[in-house]
């Protein structure tokens, strides 16, 4: 009988500890995932920004060599747009990872459990929600710029004169500048995510096992 009672007591004890352990493990998993995703997203943003900002000078060099060339097939220019495309795919993957962590963290935050570091958790959940909106905006600007590049090629092919090419490049630069502004905004907000994530990570360490 004593052994049976001891066994039952042990089961209840483990059951009581289980949720705390699972919550802590979940938080640890997602703070690590957020840190990794933010690092990858920042790297992707830098790569996209570098590729598009190199486009104008690369075009000017190619134009000087042959004003009537098919620039849509120029190796140096297409390499830049391919680099941007590859980096954007990595950006989207990092964005999806952040979305996944945001969903999981929101579920924990809504539990309002006394053992959870609620303030740090809610701060990170909020910064992730705002970053999600910024990611959507950035993606829109990226797609608009990608189409602007195609339009640029069409414009220069239609009229390869220096005056028309300069005008087309000026229009394209407006899109490039706008995307760079979005890059700065998003990078700053990702910095906030990093800070909130680090604060939550420290709070998780203090949680009871």
pLDDT band at 20 (very low <50, low <70, confident <90, very high): very low
**Is the confidence at residue 8, as pLDDT, over 70?**
no
Helix-, strand-, coil-residue percentages of the chain, each rounded to 5: 90, 0, 10
Structural domains present in the chain: 23-205 (1.20.120)
- Average pLDDT value for residue range 123-144: 97
Segment 21-64, tens digit of pLDDT = 488 999 999 999 999 999 999 999 999 999 999 999 999 999 99
The CA distance from 27 to 204, in Å, is 7
Contacts of 114 (CB under 8 A, 6+ apart): none
Tell me which long-range contacts 135-142 makes (C-beta under 8 A, separation of at least 24): 135/91, 135/95, 135/98, 135/186, 137/182, 138/45, 138/91, 138/179, 138/182, 138/183, 138/186, 139/91, 139/92, 139/95, 141/175, 141/178, 141/179, 141/182, 142/48, 142/84, 142/88, 142/179
C-alpha closest to that of 108 among 8, 31, 192, 202: 31
């Amino acid at each position: 009988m004593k052994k049976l009672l001891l066994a039952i007591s042990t089961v209840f004890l483990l059951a009581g500890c289980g949720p705390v352990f699972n919550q802590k493990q979940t938080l640890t998993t997602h703070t690590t995932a957020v840190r990794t995703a933010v690092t990858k997203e920042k790297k992707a943003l830098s790569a996209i920004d570098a590729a598009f900002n190199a486009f104008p000078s690369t075009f000017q060099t190619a134009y000087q060599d042959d004003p009537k060339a098919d620039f849509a097939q120029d190796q140096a220019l297409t390499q830049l747009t391919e680099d941007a495309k590859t980096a954007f795919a990595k950006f989207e993957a990092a964005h999806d990872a952040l979305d996944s962590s945001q969903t999981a963290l929101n579920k924990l935050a809504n539990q309002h459990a006394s053992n959870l570091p609620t303030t740090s958790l809610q701060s990170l959940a909020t910064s992730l929600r705002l970053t999600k909106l910024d990611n959507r905006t950035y993606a829109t600007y990226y797609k608009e710029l990608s189409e602007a590049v195609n339009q640029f090629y069409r414009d220069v092919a239609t009229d390869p004169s220096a005056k028309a090419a300069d005008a087309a490049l000026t229009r394209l630069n407006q899109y490039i500048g706008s995307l760079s502004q979005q890059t700065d905004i998003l990078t700053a907000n990702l910095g906030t995510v990093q800070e909130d994530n680090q604060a939550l990570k420290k709070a998780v360490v203090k949680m009871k096992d």
